[in-house]
Amino acid sequence: MNTLIIVSASIIVDLFVGDPKAIPHPVVGFGKAIAWFERLFRKESVSPPLQKMLGVSLVIFLLLLALGLTFVTLWLASHVHPLAESVVSVWLISTTIAAKGLKEAAMQVYGALASGDLEEARLRVGYIVGRDTDSLSEQEVSRAAVETVAENIVDAVVSPIFYALVGGVYGAILYRAVNTLDSMVGYKNEKYRYFGWASARLDDVLNFVPARICGFLLWLVALASRTLSANGAWKAMRRDASKHPSPNSGIPEAAIAGALGIQLGGENRYGGIVSVRARMGEAHRNIVIEDIPRTTRILYKTVVFVLGIFLLLLNLMWWRSL
């Protein structure tokens, strides 16, 4: 019951507070630690097997660092006041959830498009996607924003909440550490193919169950909405999710595409190299800029749905304890 209270409080903190820039964020620290390790140990000249070993060492290094710093932080808080440990736990878990930040980043792209500033929209979407954005059309910018919000419903919401329930603060922080590793070195290009192998594979493993929970949640959200197609979401997930190069990202992307009646995927460019992603959903209509706020509303409805389940469970537990 205590874990459920702390996780519920963390969700609420993220929804209303997000990640204030004035307060140090664990992900920023993870990023600096990864960059330090890479500068010190990764060399272009070493053999692929040795690069893989260094990549495994990076994972172990970051997880031990995250575990140790979390333990020390909670230990210090517990010696200040018993309530302080709970408050710090809520805050730490909230930093692993990024619903508010994800929505704000996507809506900045939408705001630029709505004002007719395509160059600014390309710049803004470039902050949240890995593809080349300098020549994207309005429709392609909209697609990029929708795809990254859809994919990150798993990474930024469902997975951290899932691991917070399973392992408390430590579970959420360790998940976020792995996810940060994947976002920084988990690429399948020449630079990181071997060095980032362990990070990418571990991220895939950790997201496997949450991604499927997310797909079910998105279907429920669509089912409860008059403007979304639950049938379309379910059909797209069953038909298209497995076509995605990621074993997990295709599920939320297909669900969003089917729910909105649009088609995601297609041609992207990474460092000038064309990559054709499998198409998710059916193009019942063209993607428009309004699909960005529609997707962020699905994101928030999913978070509120999860929070509602938790609050209902807490209420039932409270009544049973009387």
* Domain that includes residue 6, residue range: 2-321
Q: What digits encode the pLDDT tens for the residues 193-202?
A: 999 999 999 9
Alpha-helical segments (H) within 186-267: 197-223, 230-240, 250-260
Q: What digits encode the pLDDT tens for the residues 250-285?
A: 999 999 999 999 999 999 988 888 888 899 999 999
Provide the residue type at 61 as one letter: F
Q: Which residues of the chain fall short of a pLDDT of 50?
A: none
Q: Residue 78 pairs with which residues in a beta bridge?
A: none
Domain count, the chain: 1
106: tokens are 């996507």
Give the integer Cα–Cα distance in Å for 237 and 239.
6
Q: Residue 273 pairs with which residues in a beta bridge?
A: 270
Q: Residues 6 or more apart from 177 whose CB is under 8 A from it?
A: 30, 62, 63, 65, 66
pTM: predicted TM-score of the whole model, two decimal places: 0.94
CA 184 to chain centre: 14
What confidence score (pLDDT) does residue 190 get?
Answer: 82
Alpha-helical segments (H) within the chain: 2-16, 26-41, 48-80, 82-96, 99-114, 118-126, 138-153, 159-185, 197-223, 230-240, 250-260, 291-321
Give the integer Cα–Cα distance in Å for 30 and 50.
23
What confidence score (pLDDT) does residue 196 get?
Answer: 94
